[in-house]
Amino acid sequence: MTTPTGTDVFLAILADLSREMPPRERYTRLVDGVRRHFPCDAVALLRLKDQQLRPLAVNGLSDDTLGRRFEVDEHPRLARILMSREPVRFPADSELPDPYDGLVDNLDGDIHVHDCLGVALYLDDTPWGVLTLDAMRPGVFDHLDPAELRTFLRLAEATIKIANLIDSLQARAQREQLIARTMVAEQTRLELIGRSVPMDSLRAEIDRVASSDLTVLITGETGVGKELVARRIHGHSSRHDQPLVYVNCAALPENLVESELFGHARGAFSNAVGDRAGKFELANGGTLFLDEIGELPLDAQPKLLRALQSGEIQRVGSDAYHQLDVRIIAATNRDLKKAVAAGRFRADLYHRLSVYPIEVPPLRERGRDILILAGYFLEQNRRRFGLPGLRLSADAQAALTAYPWPGNVRELEHLISRSVLRVRPPGEDAVNRVLTLHKADLGLPSDTLGETPAMAPTPLAAGSPTPTAAEGLTLREATDRFQADTVRRALSANDGNQAATARALGLDRGNFSRLLKRLGIKP
Residue ranges of the alpha helices (H) in 354-463?
A: 369-385, 394-402, 408-423, 439-442, 445-448
Phi, psi of 223 (to 5 degrees): 85, 5
Q: What is the pLDDT of residue 17?
A: 59
Question: H/E element holding 30?
Answer: helix 23-37
475 pLDDT above the threshold of 50: yes
pLDDT digits over 231-256, tens only? 999 999 999 989 999 999 988 887 78
* Confidence (pLDDT) at 346: 95
Answer yes or no: are the C-beta atoms of 192 and 369 closer than 8 Å.
Answer: no
Segment of 9-13, 100-104, 206-210 carrying the highest mean pLDDT: 206-210
Of 404, 518, 389, give the one whose Cα is nearest residue 77: 389
Alpha-carbon gap, residue 133 to 255, rounded angstroms: 63
454-455-461-464 Cα dihedral, nearest 10 degrees: 130
**Local structure of 174: helix, strand or coil:** helix
Taking the C-alpha atoms of residue 138 and residue 119, their distance in angstroms, rounded to an integer, is: 19
DSSP 287-331: EEEEETGGGS-GGGHHHHHHHHHHSEEE-BT---EEE---EEEEE
Classify burial at 353, counting beta carbons within 10 Å of its beta carbon; exposed 0-12, middle 13-18, buried 19 or more. Answer: buried
Q: Is the pLDDT of residue 178 over 50?
A: no
Cα distance between residue 40 and residue 58, in whole Å: 13
223 touches 409 (CB < 8 A): yes
Please state, in angstroms and rounded to a whole number, the distance separating the CA atoms of residues 265 and 276.
6
What is the model's pLDDT at position 24?
Answer: 82
pLDDT of 378 above 50: yes
pTM: 0.69
- C-alpha 312/C-alpha 263 separation (Å) is 13
The per-residue pLDDT for range 414-432, each reduced to its tens digit, is 999 999 998 887 765 545 6
What distance in Å separates the CA atoms of residue 277 and residue 265, rounded to the nearest whole number?
9
Q: Alpha-carbon distance 62 to 11, whole Å?
A: 29
Sign of torsion over alpha carbons 523, 362, 458, 394: negative
Phi-psi region of 345 (alpha: psi -120 to 50; beta: other; left: phi over 0): beta
Q: What local confidence, expressed as pLDDT, does residue 269 receive?
A: 66
First vs last C-alpha separation in the chain = 76
Sorted by sequence, the CB contacts under 8 Å of residue 433 that are 6+ apart come out as 110, 388, 389
DSSP state of 131: E
Between CA 331 and CA 87 the distance in angstroms is 50
Residue 3 DSSP symbol: P
What lies within 8 Å, CB to CB, of 431 at 6+ separation is 386, 387, 388
Q: How many CA atoms lie within 13 A of 346 on its CB side?
A: 16
